[in-house]
Chains A and B, each alone.
Chain A
Amino acid sequence: MAQALIELLQTKFADAVQETHAMRGDETVVVDPTRWLEIARCLRDDDQAQMSVLVDLTAVDFPDRDPRFEVVAHFHSLGLGHRLRLKAKVGKPDGSGAQIASLTSLWASANWLERECYDMLGVQFSGHPDLRRILLYPEFEGHPLRKDYPAHRTQPLVPYREAENIEKLPPFGPDEGMPFGRRWRDWVPEEDDADELLGGSKGQH
């Protein structure tokens, strides 16, 4: 079904389509990023395609490649029932220059999907009405899903408390006082068989 889609794109945009594959039932077309909007509009409007839903829009970081990022869009047609994955390679190896057209004018859901892609990977979408961070806060530096973002780097928005031994909190008292070991209170219950299994007196191991 989607094979017809691949053929449609290959006939209409022969110069823009760079490679295609249909591995494991996922029809995928890699296109030239400068023709991104045009191809997406064709997918939405053409009678053979009728891609009414933009399912997802994200990007993948390949730090060893040039271009570095691969923007991936998934489309689905409610009328015809087929799906397609569209990819485009953008970005320089140092992470800058990842520019691609925004699909917000065609599908409204692209608004937040592209904001997330920008927030996590730093891909700029030209023509986006409001491109700013969506999941992280504005003071955050860097793009965390890039492969060169240090995995354990945290940027706390609220500075951590000035407490003693903050990394190894909490400082527990000598008796952590589990309620079922209430022998150190005034009431002392009689010993019974359950006490052995619960760890004897005081309920501690």
Chain B
Amino acid sequence: MGKLKERFLPVIGQAEEEGVFTTRAEDLIAWGQKYSLFAYPFVTACCAMEYMSIASPRYDVARFGAEAPRFSPRQSDLIWIVGTVSQRQAPILKRIYTQIAEPKWVLSFGTCACSGGFYDNYATVPGIDKIIPVDIYIPGCPPRPEAICDGLLLLQDKIQTRDRTPGVVKPRLDPASNPKMGITRLPRGSKGA
């Protein structure tokens, strides 16, 4: 016990000298919210594979505090809509969304949830945002786990600043717009990008 106290003594001494740090209550609450998101994975299709991979130890979502999946809307604050939502599933999604208590955030995972994906037909909702308001869009088919981490960090930033405008995850190295990557040269007679 003596050894333990010895190790911590300098820290305690410093705090007593400098006093406590102050912040706004809203910032503190937002800090708590962003690092303890209870996710409701509303999973319908293949993007679930990437959700599983990000929940696993390699691409760990636990390091961001968002590991705890709660399969009840009453117990969660972040709903991940993972995968395609069909027209028949839409009322179910709307009902689940309204059952989540405020404050709530919506993360749209995969292109089918963001915009309907490659489906343009009678059966698919062309994007979740036609039914419920979305905070973060993570496009990809399926998105890389790194992109999902980007989306989650973006969401955490938005929670910290209480920003409710939607954001979209873009690729870090975007070959279409980054000439240094040198991939924009198109073969077969075209004039290039």
Contact = CB atoms under 8 A, between A and B. Distances in A.
Q: Do A and B come from one complex?
A: yes
B166 A171 contact: yes
A154 B87 contact: yes
A152 B14 CA distance: 68
A179 interface: yes
Tell me the interface secondary structure of chain A in the complex.
Answer: loop
Classify chain B: how many residues form its interface, as a range.
35 or more
Interface string B111-131: 000000000111101110111
Contact of A177 (B120, B129, B158): B158
Interface in A145-178: 149, 151-158, 160-161, 163, 166, 169-173, 176-178
B63 interface: no
A116 to B, nearest CB: 13
Nearest to B89: A157
Contacts of B158: 177
B96 interface: no
A42 B134 CA distance: 57
B45 interface: no
B66 interface: no
Interface stretch (A5-13, A18-26, A192-200): A192-200
Contact of B168 (A152, A172, A185, A203): A172
B178 A205 contact: yes
Contact of B125 (A156, A180, A185): A156
Contacts of A149: 122
Contacts of B137: 170
Interface string B151-172: 0011011100001011111101
Contact of A154 (B122, B150, B156, B172): B122
A176 B172 contact: no
A136 B88 CA distance: 7
Interface of B: 87-88, 90-91, 94, 120-123, 125-127, 129-134, 137, 150, 153-154, 156-158, 163, 165-170, 172-174, 177-178, 180
Given A137-B88, A158-B87, A185-B157, 15 more contacts: A144-B121, A154-B121, A154-B126, A155-B87, A156-B90, A156-B130, A157-B88, A170-B134, A173-B167, A178-B170, A179-B154, A196-B180, A203-B172, A205-B174, A205-B177
Interface of A: 135-137, 140, 144, 149, 151-158, 160-161, 163, 166, 169-173, 176-180, 182, 185, 196-199, 203, 205
